[in-house]
């Protein structure tokens, strides 16, 4: 009866076990109780075993799946014949900052993010009220300089007339002096008058030159303020797409303050990194193909425009085919400017893909890399 009452009681929480033998000894039924119900193993022990099982199996499955995916990716790529090298990269377009030349306040914005602009198009205007006033002042000084020139020229004509009169009087006096009808003193006075007229003529000529120089200076001031006002109209240097708008109307920017950043759609390229044995065979102008992940069936014809003359560390963002390739040569593959402009609406900076470079011109491109003519 005592044994039956013992079995009916709620099992107490088992103490932690050190090994399986000790655990078996704790859960084994007592002698003489073979016909009694078996003791149920504690749930905590069974749950711990299941946790260890999944902690061991799940990582193994994940590693196996990753390895299988990598194997499939490598063997799913079409084979590349010898003489053609390839590398990973991202499609890039030159970024151009549209900045202010002078400190000032933004008065008007004529473009926004995503807009296509052409070279010379005004995308923003700065406040030029102060420059407009300075221009008016310079124009007034230019008018005054012109009047000074007119006055100096009139004075020059007057001095020329006085010089002519003095010279004529000197000639008449000299003729009278020979006949004794004029005194030597009168002749000296006439000669001094001629010398004075010559000096006045020279002074008048110099004043004309000074007035003309002042006029030129005023004209340059007008031109300078005109150029400064024109430079406060921020224009796109070439055709492209507005990528960022960095300021708003009313903001005061310092000299060189950025207002827009645009992408030059005529300069589209991809940088890849190749090891020495392959990079040494690449020449500038070599034929190339760019295959974007977004358009895997549309190879883009390109040319090699740059080959680094010095090896460098491979950036972490660039995947290489071998972990042993630590030092690589940077190769730039550029799309033809006319082709890039024809497809300007499809240019996206940062698209990942592959660039294939043909080192041997005798090697034919595979069918998947033929590209459009």
Distance CA 355, CA 340 (A): 16
Distance CA 267, CA 338 (A): 10
Q: Strand, helix or coil at 66? A: helix
Q: What single-letter DSSP state applies at residue 90?
A: E
User: DSSP states of 179-225 as a string?
Assistant: HTSS-HHHHHHHHHHHHHHHHHHHHHHHHHHHHHHHHHHHHHHHHHH
Residue 304 has pLDDT above 80, yes or no: yes
| End-to-end CA, the chain | 99
Q: Hunting for tokens 């499939």 — which residue is that?
A: 72
Better pLDDT: 204 or 34: 204
Q: What is the pTM of this model?
A: 0.64
Sign of the C-alpha dihedral computed for residues 90, 91, 94 and 96 taken in this order: negative
The sheet with strand 104-109 has its strands ordered as 233-235, 122-126, 104-109, 252-253
pLDDT by residue (tens digit) across 143-202? 999 999 999 999 999 999 999 999 999 888 888 888 878 888 888 888 999 999 999 999
Instruction: Please compute the mean of the pLDDT values over residues 90-108 and round it to a whole number.
Output: 95
Tokens representing 199 are 């000096």
**Across the strands, what pairs with 86?**
356
pLDDT by residue (tens digit) across 260-288? 999 999 999 999 999 888 888 999 999 99
Burial of 288 (C-beta count, 10 Å sphere; 0-12/13-18/19+): buried
């Amino acid at each position: 009866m005592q044994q039956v009452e013992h079995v009916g009681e709620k099992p107490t929480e088992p103490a932690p076990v050190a090994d399986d033998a000790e655990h078996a000894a704790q859960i084994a039924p007592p002698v003489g109780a073979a016909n009694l119900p078996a003791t149920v193993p504690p749930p905590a022990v069974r749950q711990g075993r299941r946790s260890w099982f999944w902690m061991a199996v799940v990582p193994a499955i994940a590693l196996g799946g990753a390895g299988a995916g990598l194997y499939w990716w490598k063997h799913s790529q079409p084979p590349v014949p010898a003489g053609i090298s390839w590398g990973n990269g991202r499609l890039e377009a030159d970024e151009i900052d549209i900045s202010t030349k002078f400190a000032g306040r933004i008065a008007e914005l004529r473009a926004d993010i995503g807009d296509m602009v052409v070279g010379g198009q005004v995308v923003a205007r700065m406040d030029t009220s102060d420059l407009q006033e300075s221009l008016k002042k310079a124009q007034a000084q230019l008018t005054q300089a012109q009047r000074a020139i007119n006055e100096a020229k009139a004075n020059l004509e007057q001095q020329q007339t006085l010089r002519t009169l003095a010279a004529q009087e000197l000639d008449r006096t000299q003729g009278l002096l020979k006949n004794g009808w004029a005194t030597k003193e009168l002749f000296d006075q006439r000669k001094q008058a001629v010398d004075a007229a010559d000096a006045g003529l020279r002074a008048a000529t110099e004043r004309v030159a000074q007035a003309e120089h002042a006029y030129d200076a005023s004209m340059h001031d007008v031109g300078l303020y005109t150029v400064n006002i024109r430079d406060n109209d921020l224009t796109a240097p070439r055709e492209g797409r507005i990528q960022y708008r960095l300021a708003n109307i009313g903001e005061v920017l310092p000299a060189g303050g950025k207002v827009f950043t645009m992408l030059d759609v005529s300069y589209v390229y991809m940088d890849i990194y190749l090891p020495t044995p392959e990079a040494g065979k690449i020449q500038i102008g070599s034929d190339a193909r760019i295959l974007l992940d977004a358009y895997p069936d549309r190879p883009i014809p390109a040319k090699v425009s740059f080959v680094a003359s010095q090896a460098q560390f491979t950036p972490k963002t660039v995947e290489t085919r071998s972990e042993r390739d630590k030092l690589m040569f940077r190769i730039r593959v550029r799309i033809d400017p006319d082709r890039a402009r024809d497809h300007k609406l499809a240019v996206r900076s940062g698209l990942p893909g592959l660039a294939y470079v043909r080192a041997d011109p005798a090697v034919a491109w595979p069918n998947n890399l033929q590209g459009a003519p």
